[in-house]
Amino acid sequence: MTTNGWHRIAVRAAIAGIALLAALIAIPTWAFGATTKVLYSCVADGPTFPMSITLDGSPANPVEDDEVVVTWKLVPADPEQGQASESLMIPPTPIQSGDTVLIEGQLSISGTPVTANPGATTLDASVVAQTSVATTTAMSPIPDLVLRLTPSATGTIGVVADSFKLNLVPSGAQSTSALYTCSKVATAAAASLLLTVVSASTSDTDDPTTTSTVFETETETVSVTDTATVTNSVDVTNTSTVSVTNTAQVRMTPVGGAQTGGGGDMGPDGRLIMLAGTAFIAAAAFGGLLLRHRLSRSSGV
């Protein structure tokens, strides 16, 4: 195989590895998300519309007698490939900028803390369109529905998203026109949310965000016995005597080795040492030149 062939194989392997890594990173996001794809029937004898529904409860672990806010979000989802019975939800009539979209939805609530028997709660909301939406694009905007409830005891609360209606109020008009009236397909899985209500004492103990402060007290006793007796006796007597003798200076040649710093009769003269050093240096230089000359002749240079 040529070098180019190996290069192409290496490039393809690197691309495949990057794609696999991206897929592995994306899997936890979808697996732990609160979004559920639900099929709705909105048109008689027509296709079903897949909707991405998100039920978000805050806080996730509520405390009894505290308010819980549940947000219901609806977004049109793409139909499954090969499913002719599914279709993307689009506006049946154009939506102009400034028009108001109304939504009315039903949530089924069950659980001991809220009510003894399952019940249904109807919510409504509205949103003003900021841009125009044609009949060839996904239905938007769809306002979010918000449910507020206060559990009175510990236990679990179940919230299930059910049917909804979409209406349109044109800008400057008073009349309302229906867009869709949708109910969940009987065979489709519903979007649900389960909330666990805990007591205030349990929340304070188990809440991972609780901050505990521990104060540590350390006592250290140190006994030190130190006796020192210092006696300083200092007698200082400063006596300064300065004698100045002015002697006239006369230009004259000093006589004698002792006055000039000369060697006198002690040892050889310095000139003899200098002469011997010069001779040694000259001999070393001559020996070096002679050795270099012999080496040059033996090498033929």
Look at residue 277 in the predicted model and tell me its pLDDT: 80
Low-confidence ranges of the chain (pLDDT < 70): 1-34, 112-119, 202-272, 298-301
The tokens describing 208, both together, are 């991972």
Give the domain ranges of the chain. 30-206, 270-301
Task: Provide the pLDDT for residue 133.
Answer: 96
CB 175 within 8 A of CB 169: yes
pLDDT of amino acid 251:
44
- Which overall architecture, per CATH, does domain 30-206 show? Sandwich (2.60)
Pair type for strands 35-41 and 177-184: antiparallel
Q: What is the pLDDT of residue 257?
A: 45
pTM of the predicted protein model: 0.55
How many whole angstroms separate alpha carbon 58 and alpha carbon 242?
100
